Structure 1
Amino acid sequence: MCACAWRLHVFTAALVLAAHLIKVLSCGEAGAGPRLTKRYVGLYTGPYFDPSAPNNITTQLGTHAYLPCKVRQLSNKSVSWIRRRDAHILTVDRFTFIADERFQAFLVEATDTWTLQVKYVQARDAGVYECQVGTEPKMSHFVQLNVVVPKIEIVGESELYVKAGTTVSLKCVITQALEEPAYIFWYHNDERVLNYDKSLVEIRMERVAPDTTVGNLIIYSPRREDSGNYSCSPSNLDSASVMLHVLSGEQPAAMQHGNGARGASPRRALLAAAALPALPALPALPALPALLPALPPAAPHVRPQLVLHRLLLLLALALLCPVLCHDEDDGK
């Protein structure tokens, strides 16, 4: 009986000691009261980065990027985001320390994630960003931001020549795009093209591949006034343009090529002729029947060169006349 009682006392003492140790680990030393700093038991006794958080983010030009930083057991420590290329502090907790309003940080409490948001990403935003926790020493987690720049072009030559009344189809192809554009706007000489009347103009957009979108502008029965610059402008991307020439009637062969020489139009020839200075009027010449050979009347089909030659001959004789008269007077 004594041995059993002794064992019972030892077991009871062990339970009391275990309870005391648990209290000390969770609340601090006995009699010291609860502490403000929370104690953690396990592998990490303070803040640590969740290793499952991604450290490589790829986004498309013009969209929004979200850089995550999962910090467990953060307690009352602060979290900062720093741009590595220039060591610029972007945010500290929810406060922003850069004039660029595209940067903002917010906390997703359900996942203990401090996320850096970059709105309307630009190509220069690519690089490494540091998530820093205000411990001693500092703790850092790095995230690489990659920016994909889609390629946009209008299929065909930069200048397009079509006959009036011939249907025109302009194709705007966007490749290397992670996201499909919300819209593709078409502009004619900086004025937006609207497809209210589908018998005149039709606009289409189609996702033909995981990274390719095609926008199509169809102009039915184009007229001369439909000539000009046409550009396609997808959402959050640059634009591409083409010059359309709508020709009426037959045109010189050189007009069929965008880079070829163009023949002078009749209107230009008339303007050039009008710009020439007028010739002064010649004084009346005395009759010289003895000096002038008999000239037949000009036929309707006489060439302009022959008329010019005759005028020059008359001018030469007019200049020669005073010389002959002077010689006659000297002989007398």
Structure 2
Amino acid sequence: MSSTVATDQSAAQLTPGRLLEAYRVMRTIREFEERVHEEFATGDIPGFVHLYAGEEASAAAICSHLDDRDAIASTHRGHGHCIAKGVDVVAMMAEIYGKSTGSCRGKGGSMHIADLSKGMLGANGIVGGGPPLICGRALASKFKGDGGVAVAFFGDGASNQGTTLESLNLATVWNLPAIFVAENNGYAEATSASWSVATDDIADRAAAFGMPGVIVDGFDFFAVHEVAGEAVARARAGAGPTLIEVKFTRYFGHFEGDQQLYRGTEVADARRDLDCLLKFRDTVTRSGQLTPEQLAAVDQEVATLIEEAVTAAKAAPAPGEADLTTDVYVSY
């Protein structure tokens, strides 16, 4: 079966409403990241930002299977995961600007956006910091019997961290409803995964921990959606964890300001030939499930939302001195 036929069959299983929502999530992530890229260049955004553009299909497809029972843990490159799990975009932009109206009241910035009410346990500046958190959340769901699933997103660099490997082992030992998503964009900062990862594929490591390992094309929303659906169903059924390796290319540098001297034409090639949004549009319009006009309407709505988010963030107040110790300690 050709990849086009497989993609068309996967798309046919989704209603037009779900397809529109998936496109909206991916378009929102793309527009959010492209705008942050522009705004960061002005010098008004404090701290570092690490952009997710090019990787939208992973977050959108995986989180489309999740609900309020479920939780995710992210990475330093976390904007896409936040948006896909339902974190408010206006509050996210304010957080990136360090404003008091932000998701974490301006204290976290880009690398530490969180919203526990949405099951988003946080972006994380610690490489490999998310997998242990997910084991804890998955264990809680297992004991409560609520059917919840916990998902850890991490990169090819974090795949070599002891925290990640220990979490893979623990998830199998405790038979946890956990899913580990290795988002392999080819580089840990500027270090090629082909040089730093001992196996050809990160998913090959799954066998050592007694769980399925699956490799999927991260430019194909429908391929990721199908693989994620199987992993989520397996976890909810009590059959244990899965390791999914999603392969794609990030469109920007490791961080804003990265000169990217370690890369050639791969970004331009990916944007032209492999882009997940373009492939999604082609699939759903060719099948007649959605029209170009419907997709264009989403594009306009998202553009308006992002403009409103930036305007609100710039106008919002910065945290005051009295905010210094709020939301820091829990009172029991």
Identify the TM-score tier after normalising by the shorter chain: under 0.3
Larger Rg: 1
Of Structure 1 and Structure 2, the greater helix share is in 2
Give the alignment's TM-score, normalised by structure 2. Answer: 0.17
Give the alignment's TM-score, normalised by structure 1. Answer: 0.17
Structure with more relative contact order (C-alpha pairs < 8 Å, separation 6 or more):
2
